[in-house]
Structure 1
Amino acid sequence: MARPGRTANPEGRMALAGHLREFKRRFYIAGIALIACAIVGFFLASPVLQVLSAPLIELRAQGLPVELNITNVTQAFDVQMRIGFMLGIIMSSPIWLWQLLAFIVPALRTIERRYVFGFVGAAVPLFVGGCLTGWYVLPRIIGLFVGFTPDGLTAFLGAQDYWDFSFKLVFAVGVAYVLPVIVVFLNLAGIVSGAAIIKGWRWAVLAATLFGAFVTPAGEVLSMFIIAVPMVVLYFAAAGVALLVDRRRRKRAAAEIGEDAT
């Protein structure tokens, strides 16, 4: 009989049916958490939309005629559903992310587990930082676009289009900030070397600049640099980490060769 608190299967092996049951159980937990948080997010949608509308209030204070409107019968409900669903994903992320890790991690080796938890630990704050950067430049971008409204006319913005534009911009910048972490993860997996990452710095700078120009309107140079410069800095930081990893890897390999020689 196995001792209390210890498993009779020390290697942690599980049959396919067991894996499927485990996946199903964790999927249900994550799904229930998502639905519950989405319901809460549905009732928080109105204040969230008011917060998103803050740039429009500033524009009206500057004398620019702009209004946020519901353009059809079902749009108010549709916008509230969209916002509620996204809030549900965000609020339930600790639960569904943990369920995902709890399903994957037992099958990994110790070093692989460190990589996974290190990736998550670095990616989450970078994603939040990217979203905050996108949120910071959002009023400038909206102000520039609405500023093209001819004199005597009022810019009537559909609530759904306004939400989609705002969310896509903030989310895109958040994802862009996570890319350097993916580069480091590829280096840890032995797919790309630190030297190769450094060698591609020109392409990285070009890609960051083009991305900054893509998500910001033409002529908004300051907003473009606010987005592009941190991406370039993160890329070089990722390259530095990759070089350190390669250096330790070479030292470890040299030490193993020396031990074999003796």
Structure 2
Amino acid sequence: MSDNKLIKAIKEKGKTMEAEMSFFDHLEELRWHLVRSAIAVVIFMIGAFAYYDFIFETVIMGPSKPGFWTYRMLCKLGEALNKPGFCVKEIPIKLMNNEMAGQFTLQINSALLIGITLGFPYLLWEIWRFVKPALHEKERKAASGFVIYASFLFILGILFGYYIITPMSVNFLASYTVSASITNWFSIDSYISSVATLTLASGVVFQLPILVYILSSLGILTPKFMRSGRRYAIVVILIVAAVITPTPDMLTMTVVAIPLFILYEVGIMVAGVVERRKKAREEAAL
């Protein structure tokens, strides 16, 4: 009996060690996925650092110049609607640096942000490579376009944030004054932070359909629940639009809220597709 207990204990210990080895193997694999993602970000960062003059003057400072694409389109829209107030002819923005290493750290930080933004699709691909082996064949097929869809939505959100939300916010905040005796002098860090936050936040918010897909696959969200909560979603979307855009005018809030509402409706359709697939698999299993 004692021999049997000893053998059983050895077997249990072997299973425990095997499980621990498997866990550490997964950690090691995840580490290498993250390392490769970090290398990709560093490569894009070096590229941004090398071409920083063009990136700073054209991309980063673009929303602060009247010749920016968004302002030119607003001028054309104003001409078509006979609303000259739409045209932005001047942006009274003055930037300053009040730190010894301010401009150097500015270049490093902004190049890093650009590296993260450009490297995001590759990061998604590495995450997919890590998760894929743990999925069943049907789950792999169902999620096969994850990287493409998520990257597309992220890029779409980045473009929306950069060309719509950021210029409207910059124009409003640069022109807003409480008193004529106060002159607006913005630190360059504040400007970079605002542009980066508004742009990247839009890219993250546009991942809503992907989040809905994951929650629907886990059985947490259903299309019925999302439809019944549409009125509450509208209120939340308006609050999010008000937070994202620090401008008080309804036009800007509406421009931001409409794409978010469209994303919510797309999320309902995504949840519906997931639910139909689940029912089809259940019927096939019977």
The residue number in structure 2 matching 1:146 is 174
Deviates more, 1:171-180 or 1:247-256: 247-256
- Tell me how far apart the structure 1 counterparts of residues 200 and 283 of structure 2 sit (CA, whole Å): 44
Flag the 1:198–1:105 CA change in 2: closer, same or farther, 3 A. Answer: same
**1:48-71, CA deviations, whole angstroms, 9 ceiling, x for partnerless residues?**
232322333329x83554222222
Measured after TM superposition, the shift of residue 246 of structure 1 is 2.1
Match 2:211 to one of 182, 185, 210 = 182
Contact 1:173/1:227 (CA < 8 Å) preserved in 2?
no
Measured after TM superposition, the shift of residue 94 of structure 1 is 4.2
Deviates more, 1:61-70 or 1:13-22: 13-22
Flag the 1:109–1:36 CA change in 2: closer, same or farther, 3 A. Answer: same
**1:113-171, CA deviations, whole angstroms, 9 ceiling, x for partnerless residues?**
23443333222212211221111232222111222235476422211110001110111
The residue number in structure 1 matching 2:230 is 201
- Tell me how far apart the structure 2 counterparts of residues 146 and 196 of structure 1 sit (CA, whole Å): 42
Measured after TM superposition, the shift of residue 255 of structure 1 is 5.2
- Tell me how far apart the structure 2 counterparts of residues 66 and 157 of structure 1 sit (CA, whole Å): 7
Matched, 1:33 2:40: yes
Supply the AA of the counterpart residue of 1:101: W
Flag the 1:29–1:217 CA change in 2: closer, same or farther, 3 A. Answer: closer
Moved runs in structure 1, 4+ residues, more than 6 A? Answer: none
The alignment yields a C-alpha RMSD, in angstroms, of 2.6
Measured after TM superposition, the shift of residue 41 of structure 1 is 2.1
Q: Which runs of 5+ in 2 are unaligned?
A: 1-18, 68-87
Flag the 1:119–1:69 CA change in 2: closer, same or farther, 3 A. Answer: same
Q: Which runs of 5+ in 1 are unaligned?
A: 1-12, 258-262
Contact 2:172/2:247 (CA < 8 Å) preserved in 1?
no
Q: Give identity over the alignment, percent.
A: 27
Classify the secondary structure of the residue corresponding to 2:36: helix
Flag the 1:246–1:141 CA change in 2: closer, same or farther, 3 A. Answer: same
Match 1:83 to one of 101, 104, 110 = 110
Larger radius of gyration: 2
The residue number in structure 2 matching 1:213 is 242
- Tell me how far apart the structure 1 counterparts of residues 45 and 280 of structure 2 sit (CA, whole Å): 50
The residue number in structure 2 matching 1:57 is 65
The residue number in structure 2 matching 1:102 is 129
- Tell me how far apart the structure 2 counterparts of residues 223 and 125 of structure 1 sit (CA, whole Å): 24
